[in-house]
Chain A
């Protein structure tokens, strides 16, 4: 961020990681008010979409949406709609219904009070109805962990922008979005090879590293992926598509105006979809 503008940054533990919000070009009181609004937006997304919180809308859907339509907030509805669009363009490589497998592997806790999921359930069983109602055609468990962190970042940027900063960055544990005229430099922190830097203006970047028996279902091989996209929700979700499909993800990335930087362990960086 340019040093001629005042720059203020704060961080809180949220979304299971550390969320940093940095704003440039606002005086202290306005900067802190903007940052407060950004964190409040992140908290609202966390409260609505956390798989771990029995009071969240996701938990409520997992318990009851197979019994009848459940009303959700516009945020949750928007994320479900976006997840469906990405699932469609990736031929199911992005899938928010893999929670049962994640629970079986111990990566997620069993949802309290939820019915046994139908083993044949898929994203096609999530029915989005007018008025922000959602119904499940079969018992199933959804987990928005592959897209909600990115959506929280977008939500925070939207809240911050109302204060009209010159520049802003929201970074939730490596899923980040940049607002403003200046390019931000982002170090891609890869454990097993040459690090790289992405210069990004007015967009989002999310990264995922996959390991064998890790939490990424359907991942074809271990590796590191960073996706640049206009929104952080898309960047977040598309990292999983690239981990699953590798080079075959190119068409899906293009459909969302995104591209990816990938590296297999100890191998060179490659780009997909640029």
Chain B
């Protein structure tokens, strides 16, 4: 194990650049991973006012978009691509439901949570002072990993609960 500790100078914190999203999977890639070898048929639909109200009531989670991006799998399962509200941003997720209406798998399609904006931004350049070295170091690469206060995934599990209720109300009978 090797470690080196670098302190970021206060001056660097005044630079504000938008955090970039990291794309993990496209919808097609997620479908191939979550339903390998199966045929998925697009079955998009628009929720009615009544359905949206019912979903909010039963899940306790707000319905922010009436558009449901759903695909039915040949084994009776369903694939839904949706967004959940994170701490700072919307997070696109994919949910796979099996033929019995239970969660089969969840994938995060893109990660945008910019906690520690200044630290995470890959475009950022700054001057660093090593802990013991007198010379200033130039950071030319990315900081691709964050360690800090643990963020709960409750926003994702709340979103999944909303989508399971959405499945029961709008998709299960298809």
Contact = CB atoms under 8 A, between A and B. Distances in A.
A189 B10 CA distance: 14
Given A187-B143, A189-B119, A207-B148, A198 B6 contact: yes
Interface stretch (A71-79, A118-126, A156-164, A172-180): A172-180
A268 to B, nearest CB: 8
A171 B156 contact: no
Contact of A228 (B1, B7, B148, B153): B1
A259 interface: yes
A228 B147 CA distance: 11
B5 A10 contact: no
Interface in B132-174: 139, 141-153, 156-157, 160
B74 to A, nearest CB: 21
B8 A196 contact: yes
Given A18-B108, A185-B141, A195-B8, A202 B148 contact: no
B98 interface: no
Contacts of A184: 144-145
Contacts of A206: 147
Interface string A122-144: 00000000000000000000000
A226 interface: yes
A17 B119 CA distance: 20
Contact of B4 (A174, A188, A189, A199): A199
A174 B150 contact: yes
B47 interface: no
Interface residues of A, number: 54
A197 B143 CA distance: 8
A264 to B, nearest CB: 15
B33 A207 contact: no
B5 A12 contact: no
Given A10-B108, A184-B145, A16 B153 contact: yes
B155 to A, nearest CB: 9
Given A17-B153, A194-B8, A195-B119, A188 B148 contact: yes
Given A12-B108, A187-B120, A189-B115, A199 B3 contact: yes
A261 interface: yes
Kindly name the residue among B131, B146, B147, B151 whose own CB sees the greatest number of chain A CB atoms within 10 A.
Answer: B147
A230 interface: yes
A201 B4 CA distance: 9
Nearest to B148: A189
Contact of A10 (B4, B24, B118): B24
B65 interface: no
Nearest to B141: A185
A197 B119 contact: yes
Given A191-B148, A200-B1, 7 more contacts: A13-B156, A186-B143, A189-B148, A198-B5, A199-B3, A228-B1, A257-B1
